[in-house]
Chains A and B, each alone.
Chain A
């Protein structure tokens, strides 16, 4: 493996993810601006968010100081040296931290001591999938802590919100999660929802939904309908941008379903803030950049 090539391009992936808001999210924010009343708090929040996106891109600055947990998703050819890939990814994370694209954001959970490079047990998160392909597909999400804290998991039936084991129950879980989050997740965000799975895979699958573009709809027609219904309903809660009141509480909702055991019916809801940092690139076998995804 040509380490220098890989590390340089993965560093660029981190830099761009941290500084350059994806165009689908920016378009979603522009649409939200049109729906908020002029001179309202919601309008002010969205306008500031758009100013911030332009400034971050123009001046090569991180969109948000909380550069969160870096979550890498790789798809690699069969037989690819994944150990070497993990090593260069860690190297790129460390360099991106030194250059100020990532905050020193990882601490020992017991002693509280900082790890200065963001390379530590459990950080960065790296998922690798092998498949019949010639290139490497590298995607990155920087998931902020505020949005991570408002993620939640329901075990249905849930009497408190009257949610049974059906899609109406899923709708109630989603709306309850948006209501509980109020402004703390940095609304308007995007929901990633997984129906089924176990407690661990449910969260994993719900977060994978953030790899989908805002315009992407679930292939299942019922789930696709539910996705738009949840966005429509959430915007009637009056929570608005940053929970200061207004019309836009969500930019999107993405749902996926897995299998489940008879005893369990989990609905897992993950939240990603409006500072939705997600980028991807396709790399050749030697680590050269072929093209950007998103």
Chain B
């Protein structure tokens, strides 16, 4: 297994290849539907995402004493961010996008051109991911978007992912989509 530690520089990210298992540590920022739309519409980004990581995730967090307790924090479907992702990667210098289910052609191109990777975390494995969260920093957009859509600053250690899209233009998801399309046609013929 490879390791990927913050800061997520272009040089580190360019070494990752589709299919690699990666253990990621550092600060990551959750962003899902509302935050992507907000940034796409030219909204203010309250953090610096240069050499940073976006995590497609709406965590389940509760207030405990004076701090936040992250009870589950697995990935959400990334494809819903596809219309906005490439622009955000290019504009803000994002190096790592973590999510589930893969992303499309425009994100693949942006990863290749701008030097970014897309990592698949295991969807549904909410408390395995939460166990990697060492601390919770600031939370943004809490009032407007609610806890599930807010931007949470999470410090993680050892979040294990697989490289779904690398910076050389390869996409595991595009490969699986194409090969499974051919097999679907074969299965249709076996009536």
Give residues in A with beta carbon < 8 Å to B.
41, 44-45, 48-49, 51-52, 55-56, 59, 61-67, 99-100, 103-105, 107, 112-114, 116, 144-146, 149, 161-162, 168, 171-172, 175-176, 179, 182-184, 186, 233, 236-240, 242-245, 273-275
Query: B146 contacts A52, CB within 8 Å?
Result: no
- Set of chain A residues within 8 Å of B120, measured between Cβ atoms: 183, 242, 244
Enumerate chain A residues within 8 angstroms of B72, measured Cβ to Cβ.
61-65, 103
Residues of chain B with a CB closer than 8 A to A184's CB: 77, 79, 100-101
A112 touches B125 (CB 8 A): no
Chain B stretch 53-74: residues in CB contact (< 8 A) with chain A:
57-60, 62, 69, 71-74
> In the complex, which residues of chain B have a beta carbon less than 8 angstroms from the beta carbon of A52?
122, 124-128
Min Cβ gap B183→A in Å is: 5
Contacting pair A175 B188 (CB below 8 A)? yes
Residues of B within 8 A of A (CB): 19, 21, 34, 57-60, 62, 69, 71-74, 76-77, 79, 100-102, 120, 122-128, 130-131, 145-149, 160, 162, 164, 172-173, 175-177, 179-181, 183-184, 187-188, 190-191
Known contacts A63-B127, A186-B100; decide if A179 and B181 are in contact (CB<8 Å).
yes
Contact of B60 among A62, A168, A243, A273 (CB under 8 A): A62
Sample 18 A-B pairs with CB under 8 A, ordered by A number: A41-B19, A45-B122, A49-B124, A61-B72, A61-B127, A64-B74, A64-B123, A65-B126, A66-B76, A99-B62, A116-B146, A146-B123, A149-B77, A182-B176, A183-B101, A233-B190, A244-B164, A244-B176
Measured CB to CB, the closest approach of chain A to B140, in angstroms, equals 15
B190 nearest CB across to chain A (Å): 8
Q: Are A105 and B173 in contact (CB under 8 A)?
A: no
Give which listed residue, B126, B188, B191, contacts A161 with CB less than 8 A.
B188
Cβ–Cβ contact A41 & B177, under 8 A: no
Which B residues lie within 8 Å of A113 (CB)? 146
Cα(A116)–Cα(B146), bound, Å = 8
Residue in B closest to A107 when the chains form the complex, CB atoms? B146
Which of B79, B149, B162, B188 interacts with A41 by CB under 8 Å?
B162
* A49-B122, A65-B59, A65-B72 as given contacts; A44 in contact with B183, CB under 8 Å: no
- Docked CA distance A41–B21 (Å): 9
Tell whether A100 pairs with B62 under 8 Å between CB atoms, given A65-B74, A186-B124.
Answer: yes
Given contacts A112-B34, A175-B187, A237-B183, is CB(A245)–CB(B127) below 8 Å?
no
Known pairs A183-B102, A242-B120; list 8 more (Cβ under 8 Å): A41-B162, A61-B71, A107-B146, A162-B188, A171-B191, A183-B176, A186-B123, A236-B187
* Closest-CB distance, A120 to chain B (whole angstroms): 12
A65 touches B60 (CB 8 A): yes
Min C-beta distance of A250 to chain B, whole Å: 13
Q: Which single residue of chain B is at the shortest CB-CB distance from A150?
A: B77
Q: Which residues of A contact B180 (CB under 8 A)?
A: 179, 182, 237-239
B189 to chain A, nearest CB (A): 10
B127 touches A56 (CB 8 A): yes
Q: Are B131 and A55 neighbours in the complex by a CB distance under 8 Å?
A: yes
Distance, CA A146 to CA B184, complexed state (A): 22
Which residues does chain A contribute within 8 Å of B188, judged by CB atoms?
161-162, 172, 175
In the complex, the answer to whether B184 meets A48 with C-beta atoms within 8 Å is: no
- A238 x B146 contact (CB < 8 A): no
B128-A100 in contact (CB<8A): no
Complex Cα gap A56–B101 (Å): 23
Q: What B residues does A161 contact at CB under 8 A?
A: 188
Q: How far is the CA of A67 from the CA of B148 in the complex (A)?
A: 11
Q: Which residues of A contact B175 (CB under 8 A)?
A: 245
A61 to B129, CA, bound (A): 12
Check B172 against A244 for contact (C-beta < 8 Å).
yes
Chain A residues whose C-beta falls within 8 Å of the C-beta of B127 in the assembled complex: 52, 55-56, 59, 61-63
User: 5 shortest A-B CB distances, which residue pairs?
Assistant: A114-B146, A275-B124, A65-B72, A100-B62, A52-B125
